[in-house]
Amino acid sequence: MPIVRWDPFRDVAALQDRINRIFSESFDSSRELDDDGSLYDWRPPVDIYQAAEGYIMKVELAGVEKEDVSVEVKDNILTLQGERLLDPQVKDEQYYRKERTFGKFQRSFTLQESIKPEQVKASFKNGVLKIVVPKPTKEKAKQVTVKID
């Protein structure tokens, strides 16, 4: 049997790691404050990019039903909200491990340019919500001759 030098701080470091893990699991970092100050259960990840058809937003919503999601545009703010529900047939005591987050979510995005809300389109397929925000067309300045009375 090899002789190993005893380090009294090794056990303290291991204890510190365990305590940190307990706190990080107890206070889930995915619970964040949204713009309106409310606390939501989770925030779905979103990719936003520009394409020929406009600005594309892809929101990862695995396990969320289409009926449980809403998308609204008001005052140049696009808001998506919904809820991922727990399976009512599985009770808490039946779980060995539960890593997915359930509950209500809300994400809001400020649109830089004035768009027409009725032109925003959304589709839901394979757990991904795709939102297409068309690029606004720049209106040409009109020249009007004003009749002088």
Find out whether 76 and 101 touch, Cβ atoms under 8 Å.
no
Look at residue 103 and tell me if it is in a domain.
yes
Domain annotation covers residue 18: no
The span from the CA of 129 to the CA of 119, in Å, is 16
pLDDT (0 to 100) of residue 31: 45
Q: Half-sphere exposure of residue 2, counting CA atoms within 13 Å on the CB side?
A: 3
Per-residue confidence (pLDDT) for residue 92, from 0 to 100: 85
Number of domains, the chain: 1
- For residue 44, is it within any domain? yes
> Looking at residue 98, which CATH number applies to its domain?
2.60.40.790
* Model confidence pTM above 0.75: no
For residues 44 and 63, the answer to whether their CB atoms sit within 8 Å is: no
Domain assignment present for 10? no
pLDDT of residue 35: 47
β-pairing verdict for 121-125 and 128-133: antiparallel
Expressed as residue numbers, the domain containing 116 is 30-133
Q: How far, in Å, CA of 108 to CA of 48, rounded?
A: 13
Low-confidence ranges of the chain (pLDDT < 70): 1, 24-39, 139-140
Residue 23 lies in a domain: no
Q: Which residues pair with 120 in a beta bridge?
A: none
For 11, 78, 97, the CA distances from 7, given in Å and listed in that order, are 8, 57, 35
Classify residue 126: in a domain, yes or no: yes
User: How confident is the model over 63-100, as pLDDT tens digits?
Assistant: 899 999 999 999 889 999 999 988 889 988 888 888 88
Domain assignment present for 25: no
- C-alpha 104, offset from chain centre: 11
Q: Strand, helix or coil at 73?
A: strand
Enter the tokens of residue 10: 């090794």
The verdict on residue 87 lying in a domain is: yes
